[in-house]
Amino acid sequence: MEEQEINLMDYIKTVMRRWWMILAITAAATLLVFLVSFLSPKIYEVSTIIEVGTLDTETKTMIESPAKIKEKVESSVYEVIGAKTEIPAGINLVKIHIESGDINGAKTALEKINNSILAEHRKLTAFQKEIIEQQIEKNRTELAILEKEEKTIEKTFQPLTEAALALQPAIFQLSYLKTQEMLDNKRNAITRLKSETIGLNQSLNYIQDSKIIKPPAASKLVGPKILFNTLIALVLGLFIGIVTAFCQEWWQKNKLTK
C-alpha cells in the first residue's frame, strides 16, 4: 500500500514538474488541429428528393422500386461518383445526396441524375399508356362490330318473336330461342367490353409520372467538424504530453544512474 502511494506521488510530482511541457504539447496539438479544421474547405451535403411515380395507384405498382434506383445511383450508372441515397420506409420517396465543397458542382451532378431517372420513367409510363390506349382502341373497334351485329340480330328477332307468339310451332320456338341466345351473348359481350374500356380509361388516370419533390440544394454543413476535432485534439494532446513527460523523466533518471 505504501509503495502504491509512493508511486502515485511520484507520478503527481512528475506531472507537476513538467506541467509546462504537458501544457505546451496539449496547446500546440489543439491549436494545430483547430487551425487545420478552420482553414479546411467546408463540406456541404447537397441533396434532392424524387417521388417515384406509379403505373397503377390502386395497386401501388411503382414505375421502379426505390431499392433499384439506390443500386443504380450508388453504382454510378448515371456517371456520377460519390452519390448516396436514402429510402424512407413505407413511402415512394428517394433522397439522393452528395457531400462536397463544390455546391454548384454537386447540384449539377444531382440534376444530371434527376434528369436521367425522370427520362427513364417517362419512357416506361409512355409505353404503359401506349399499351392501354391500343387496348382501348381495340375494344372500341370490337364494340362497333358487336353493336352492328346486335342491331342485325334485333331486326331478325322481332319477326321471330311475333311469329312465335302468334303461331307457336316448334320450328319458330327453336329459332326464337337460338336468336334470343345469340342476342344475349352479343349484349353480354358488349357490356363486358364497355366495362373493360371504362377500367382501362381509369387506368390511364392512375398512371403518375415521377417528379422532383425537392430540387438539388445544400441542406447542411457536414464538415469540417471544428469543435469535435478540437476536443479530440485536446484529449490526445494531453495524453501525448503526459506520456512525453514520463518518458523524459525516465530518461533523465537512467542518465543520472549511469
pLDDT in tens, 161-220: 555 555 555 555 666 677 778 888 988 999 999 999 999 999 898 899 999 999 999 988
Per DSSP (E only), the strands in 81-236 are 84-86, 93-100, 211-223
Q: How far apart are CA 45 and CA 113, in angstroms?
A: 16
Q: In a 10 Å sphere around its CB, with 0-12 CB exposed, 13-18 middle and 19+ buried, how is residue 142 labelled?
A: middle
DSSP string, 13-65: HHHHHTHHHHHHHHHHHHHHHHHHHHHSPPEEEEEEEEE--EEETTTTEESS-
CB-based contact 85:96 (threshold 8 Å): yes
Q: How far apart are CA 49 and CA 97, in angstroms?
A: 9
End-to-end Cα spacing for the chain: 29
pLDDT for position 168: 54
Q: In the chain, what are the domains?
A: 15-40+224-241 (no CATH), 41-223 (3.30.70.1130)
* pLDDT at residue 5, as a whole number: 46
- Judge contact between 57 and 92, C-beta under 8 A: no
Which amino acid is present at 88?
Answer: P
Question: What's the CA gap between 23 and 30, in Å, rounded?
Answer: 10
Q: Is the pTM of this model over 0.85?
A: no
CB-side exposure of 85: number of CA atoms within 13 Å? 24
Residues of the chain with pLDDT under 70: 1-7, 57, 157-176, 255-258
List CB contacts of 194: < 8 A, sequence separation 6 or more: 143
- What pLDDT shows up at residue 59? 77
